[in-house]
Amino acid sequence: MAAGETFEEFKDSFSYGSRTDLAFKFLKKLAPDDAARFFAELLTKLGETVDDGDARRLVDHAIEWQARAYAPAPGEQRPWAYDDGPFTPMPAPLADARIALLTSSGHFVAGADPAPFGAAGMTQDEAIARIGEFIRAAPDLSEIPAATPPGDLRVRHGGYDIRAAEADPDAAFPLARLRELAAEGHIGSVADPAFSFVGATSQKRVLATAPAWADRLAAAGADAVLLVPV
């Protein structure tokens, strides 16, 4: 730790601070006491793993504390809460249905960079540095031809750890898996194109633009939409 740095400053530094790590930015959301428990229990489990080699408990620990960090505080009002929600029945059996894919993972096809804020070739590090601008801006929906091989996909998103989505797009943008399910007749077909946007964006602008996205999905012949947030 830096000279004079408190534990609170240390755990907060993982969220867009000196130790930015989008996998562990949730530490900032934990109260200092809870963050201390996270580390203490992590070390206990690490000690157990030293002896039996079972790292599963470490993964589970991270997932469990990530969920705790994002859970609402008691009595917290959530601006996105609704009393009820729409439900549209399926128009056709799954085996006959054309399924569209839409994710907030920030994937796009190599050579078709959406160039947020006019910045062509923006790097992941630049996207992280400009996260505040993303959150105020309108989202940009990238079209991805349904036949795109995974190797032609790129991902950039300043709000989450993209390493898995970059190494294997299907971890967050399951287009290849969907094609397999269509080839085997589990679903009728995959709508062309598939879509992705950077989910760290203005909620007001998402609501304003989503009806136009519905039109684009309908134009792609979608009977239903598989949504994958990250």
Site for another protein in 94-113 (CB under 8 A): 94, 97, 99, 102-104
| Nearest distance, CB of residue 123 and another protein, angstroms | 18
Taking the complex as a whole, the smallest distance from the CB of residue 193 to another protein amounts, in Å, to 16
Tokens of 37: 């428990």
Binder among 122, 144, 153, 178 for another protein (CB under 8 A): 178
Q: Are 30 and 69 in contact (CB under 8 A)?
A: yes
**193 preceded by a cis bond (ω within 30 of 0):** yes
Q: Is 114 in the site for another protein (CB under 8 A)?
A: no
Question: Which token pair is 229?
Answer: 């947030």
Q: Which of 28, 189, 192, 213 binds another protein (CB under 8 A)?
A: 213
- Binding range to another protein, per CB under 8 A, among 1-9, 42-50, 77-85, 117-125: 77-85
**CA 147 to CA 192: how far, in whole Å?**
8
The reply to whether 3 sits near another protein by the rule CB under 8 A is: no
Residue number, 40 or 219, with CB nearest to another protein: 219
Pairwise CA distance, residues 223 & 179, whole Å: 16
* Residue 35 binds another protein, judged by CB under 8 A: no
For helices 56-70 and 32-52, what crossing angle results, to 10°? 170
Asked if 30 touches another protein (CB under 8 A), the answer is: no
Q: Which is nearer to another protein, 109 or 228 (CB)?
A: 228
Angle at the Cα of 66 from the Cα atoms of 164 and 32, rounded to 5 degrees: 135
Binding of residue 181 to another protein (CB under 8 A): yes
| Cis upstream peptide for 91 (omega within 30°) | no
Q: Which residues of 139-168 are buried (b: 16+ CB within 10 A; e: fewer)?
A: bbbbbbebebeeeebbbbbbbbebebbbee
Question: What span, in angstroms and rounded, lies between the C-alpha atoms of 153 and 92?
Answer: 31
Under the binding rule (CB under 8 A), the answer on residue 133 touching another protein is no
Cα–Cα distance, 194 to 190 (Å, whole number)? 8
Minimum CB distance to another protein smaller for 2 or for 70: 70
Among 93, 132, 145, 185, binds another protein (CB under 8 A): 93
Determine if 218 is a binding residue for another protein (CB under 8 A): yes
Residue numbers 144-173 binding another protein by CB under 8 A: 159-165, 167-168, 170-172
Rounded to a whole number of angstroms, the minimum distance from the CB of residue 71 to another protein is 6
Quick check: 137 binds another protein (CB under 8 A)?
A: no
